[in-house]
Amino acid sequence: MKNGMAFRTPEGRKEVLRMYDALLEQWSAQYETIHLTTRYGKTFVLAGGDPNAPPLILLHGSGMNSVMWLGDMPTYTKHFRVYAVDIPGEPGKSAEEQLPFDSSAYAEWLDDVLKALAIDKANIIGISLGAWLAIKYAVFRPEKVEKLVLLCPSGVGPQKGSFLFTAMFYMCFGDRGLKKLFYKVNGNQPIPDIVLDYQLLIGKSFNFRREMIPIFSDQELKSLTMPVILFAGGKDIMLHSAKTARRMETLVPQGKINILPEAGHTLTNLTTEIYDFLIQE
């Protein structure tokens, strides 16, 4: 089956990237932009921090891009050289083609990114699809991963089959329905207006993938021998958080597992806790 493309229309892509640039211009954090070439096309990176500091890779979730990390970067750059990477096939500035989940393509892409950045070993933070990619890479190249931070990771516990029908239902009601869907994904917690506006724009412009993200085997998860910390929301409407936690506790015994009872799929305000985990010897 032919891989899909990130955006529904050229006009939608233009609008999403225009707002991406506007958000970057508003942010006071010090960062630079890097354009890389990989075997899977171009890759866009936001980088900040001392170039000689330990590297930290940030991988966003599906339906988003690296702008989501701008609020976290000032904390992480105190100790790390931070690279927030736009994942191919997502609504960012990297290549538009969506890579197949059931292959090594995503891991090979991230391997190319680390090579292009001259990184021998890195800490990795991923959320949702980005956390699935972080695990995928840690299985593919365990020697390249120092520590692994997983926020509501796909691929450990099953996805909730009901979410697709819930999303399709709310999408029938235009912007009002999309707003309700985003609030549900966010555990009914407040969403800043500027974030909600950007989510709405992406929601109307992005080709969301409908296929299920593959579940990692027991053997793959057992191979994660590096330090791991996981956070999952007790009110996640997309993933079975309790089943995710149980598998991790069984198969990754050194992992630190945290279920946040009132949180949804979108996890926020964890930067300090994650930073403390990363800088521990």
- The three-state DSSP-derived secondary structure of the chain is CCCCECECCHHHHHHHHHHHHHHHHHCCCCCEEEEEEECCEEEEEEEECCCCCCEEEEECCCCCCHHHHCCCHHHHCCCCEEEEECCCCCCCCCCCECCCCCCCHHHHHHHHHHHHCCCCCEEEEEECHHHHHHHHHHHHCHHHEEEEEEECCCCCCCECCHHHHHHHHHHCCHHHHHHHHHHHHCCCCCCCHHHHHHHHHHHHHECCCCCCCCCCCHHHHHCCCCCEEEEEECCCCCECHHHHHHHHHHHCCCCEEEEECCCCCCCCCCHHHHHHHHHCC
Q: b vs e for 229-261, b when ≥16 Cβ sit within 10 Å of the residue's Cβ?
A: bbbbbebbbbbbbeebbebbeebbeebebeebe
Q: Once rounded to an integer, what is the mean pLDDT over residues 49-60? A: 98
Q: Is 35 exposed, middle or buried (0-12, 13-18, 19+ CB in 10 A)?
A: exposed
Residues 70-107: tens digit of each pLDDT = 999 999 999 999 999 999 999 999 999 999 999 999 99
Question: Is a pLDDT exceeding 70 seen at residue 28?
Answer: no
Please state whether beta strands 55-59 and 122-127 pair in parallel, antiparallel, or not at all (unpaired).
parallel
* Domain residue extents for the chain: 10-279
Question: Is a pLDDT exceeding 90 seen at residue 133?
Answer: yes
Q: Would you state the pLDDT for residue 206? A: 96
CATH code reported for the domain at 10-279: 3.40.50.1820
pTM of the model: 0.95
Residues 142-167: tens digit of each pLDDT = 999 999 999 999 999 999 877 766 77
Strand partners, 59: 85, 126
Residues 236-265: tens digit of each pLDDT = 989 999 999 999 999 999 999 999 999 999
Q: Would you state the pLDDT for residue 1? A: 44
Q: Give me the count of residues in the chain.
A: 281
Look at residues 46, 9, 45, 44 and name the one whose alpha carbon lies nearest to residue 29: 46
Do the beta carbons of residue 116 and residue 37 sit within 8 Å?
Answer: yes
